[in-house]
Every structure is written in structure tokens, then in C-alpha cells.
Structure 1
Amino acid sequence: MTLNSLGLDTQKTKDLAGDLNRLLANFQTYYQNLRGIHWNIKGRQFFDLHVKFEELYDDANAKVDLIAERILTLGETPLHTFEDYVKQAKVPIGKNISQDDKAVRLIVDSLTELLKIERLILDKSDDANDEGTNSMMSDFITEQEKTIWMMKAWLNETV
């Protein structure tokens, strides 16, 4: 086993960076979805949802930066083209969504996909003794679980 300057196994670190790049691509897709629903939302819930969607896309944008910087910290290069994002994305793509219930559903479905990737990374980062990545995933998961709960409450659904 070869260790890098962070004291982490180089092969496990490389694998984690690949998973983080998949997460990055999916977060970029989620971010674009949020921008789209923020711009296009209509109806009686406009004022509340317009503000909420902006809050969510600002948060997603900050997370994109954190993920990219973690990939760099691990010694790899973050994906940065739309072509790469489209190839890696599992998050559903929302196009021309203006109805409140469809917009909120898109958020729930997107976060559900992100959580799958994050839980995989959490397990692998734990195995690699990579506390930096582990902590970031733990924080993301906690926040996104709460957002899903709130969005599902808005939809009048249970988790």
C-alpha cells in the first residue's frame, strides 16, 4: 500500500476522487434543475417557491465548489464540462417545469439520487480512513435528508 502526503492509500484515494467526480456531475445537474425551476415557477406558490429554489441553488452551488476542491485535495482533477456531466448524471433532468408540485417532486427525486451516491462515498471514505471526505458526505446527507422531509411534507407525503 502506498500512502499519499495526506496519509491515505493512493488507490483508495483515486477511487474516491472518481466517485466524487460522479457526485460533482450529478450536483451540477441538480444545480441546473434548481435554476430552471427558480426561473420558470408559476402559480400561487410563486413567491414562496421562487425564494426557496434560490436558497437551494445557492446551497448546491456552494456544495459543487466543496466537492471540486475535495477532488483537488485528493490529488485528482474535477470534471468541468457539460459533456462530462451529462455522461455521469443519474439525477433526473427537469425541462420547462413551471408547476409547483412537479418542481418539488424533481427536488425530491434529485436528492434521492444524490443520497445514493453520497452513501456509497461515505462507506468508501470510511474504509479509506478519509475523514475529510467522510465528514463532508455526512454533512451533505444530514442536510439533504431534512430537505427531503420538508419537500415531502409540502407534497403532503411521508418520507
Structure 2
Amino acid sequence: MAKSTKKSVVAVDLGFDDKQRRAIAGGLSKLLADTYTLYLKTHNFHWNVIGPQFNSLHLMFEGQYNELALAVDMIAERIRALGEPAPGSYSAFARLSTIVEAEGHPVAEEMVRILAEDQLAVVRTAREVFALADAANDEPTADLLTQRMQVHEKTAWMLRANLA
């Protein structure tokens, strides 16, 4: 008896239409790119910060990049649950991200300012995707986005507090 070479495909029917599903996954891909780029920038600043605030900033940046490393996995897995491929290359992230890569090695205070601005940029990206998820009644994505916005808003506040 010959084996069938036909693939078994299960439609991704999550209770909202394919156009919404693809739009949400596309928005999450932008959020993934922003999050990964911010992870890389934060890790870079962790390695290269110098000055009187070295110890406190070095540790703070470490906590932030560790949190971002976990977040990229959650976001990518949600994209996959929506039935779409998750971007996973530097070139894809560069195309999709609103976060600008860091050039050179800014002074510590500038690092903090840059990261505070970037945290808020990620919030804005998440908020755009939230509108799509909310319109589709995609509660799991909305929940993920709410959590991400909360983390990034709090992190931006903590960074800004270092500049006061």
C-alpha cells in the first residue's frame, strides 16, 4: 500500500476573518521587530555604558534586555498561533522596526534618554496593533499587547526618572 504524500492542512479559524488575522499577525511582526531591535540596543548599552552611574545603569539595562528576550518569544509564538510565519532575520527586523539602531557609544545619560524614547515607540506600535485585535475580538492578542504596553510604559517611566 502506497503512502499518501498529501499534506493535511487545518484552516486557521479563530473566529475572525483571514484578512483580520493576517493584519494582526503583520502588526505583531512589527512589534516583534521593534522589541528585538530594542533588545539588541539595550544589550549594547549594557555592555558599553561608562561613568558614575555605571553600576546602576549596567544592572538596569540587564534587567530590561532580559525582559525583552522573553517578550520576543511570546510575540513570535502569538504570530505562529495566528497561522503566519514570524520574521526572524536582521534584514526583516530592519525593514519592519520603528526603532533606529544605535551608532557609536553615546554617553550614559543619552543612552537612558534614547531607551526611554524607544520604549515609548514600542508602546505606540503595540497600541496600533491593539486596535486591530480589539476590532476582531482577538482577546489573546489584546491581552498580550496590554501586558507589553504596561511593561514598556513602566520601563519608560523608570528610565525618565533617571534623567530628572
Q: What's the TM-score once normalised by structure 1's chain length?
A: 0.92
Q: Which amino acid counterpart does residue 36 of structure 2 have in structure 1?
A: Q
1:70 is aligned to 2:78:
yes
Task: State which drifts further: 32-41 or 106-115.
Answer: 106-115
Residue type at the aligned position of 2:62: E
Contact kept? 1:36, 1:95, Cα under 8 Å: no
Structure 1's consecutive aligned runs of 4 or more residues displaced over 3 angstroms after TM superposition are none
Is 1:106 matched with 2:109?
no
The percentage of aligned residue pairs carrying the same residue is 31
Among 141, 149, 157, which residue is 1:141 paired with?
Answer: 149
Q: Structure 1: how far apart are the matches of 2:144 and 2:105?
A: 31
Within 2, Cα distance between the matches of 1:98 and 1:41? 8
Task: Give the equivalent residue in structure 1 for 2:94.
Answer: 86
How far the C-alpha of 1:134 sits from its partner, in A, is 0.1
Quick one: distance in 2 between partners of 1:60 and 1:95?
Answer: 20
Query: How big is the shift at 1:146?
Result: 1.3
Give the aligned partner of residue 163 of structure 2: 155
User: Matched residues in 2 for 1:4 and 1:75: separation?
Assistant: 6
- Partner secondary structure for residue 137 of structure 2: coil
Output the CA distance in 2 between the equivalents of 1:71 and 1:129: 16
Q: What residue number does 2:6 align with?
A: none
Tell me which amino acid in the other structure corresponds to 1:155: L
Q: What is the aligned partner in structure 1 of residue 4 from structure 2?
A: none
User: What corresponds to 2:57 in structure 1?
Assistant: 49
Question: Could you tell which deviates more after superposition, 111-120 or 65-74?
Answer: 111-120
Task: Give the superposition deviation at 1:6.
Answer: 2.4
What letter is aligned with 2:163?
A: L
2:14 is aligned to 6
Report the equivalent of 2:128: 120
> Displacement of 1:98 after TM fit?
4.6
TM-score between both structures, scaled by the size of structure 2: 0.89
* Structure 2 gap segments, 5+ residues each: 1-10
Shift of residue 116, structure 1, vs aligned partner: 1.1
Q: What secondary structure is seen at the aligned counterpart in 1 of 2:88? A: coil
Structure 1 residue runs without a partner (length 5+): none
Counterpart CA distance in 2 for 1:143 and 1:86 is 23
- Separation (CA, whole Å) in 2 of partners of 1:139 and 1:89: 20
Give the letter for the 2:53 counterpart. Answer: Q
RMSD: 1.3
1:95 Cα deviation after fit:
2.4
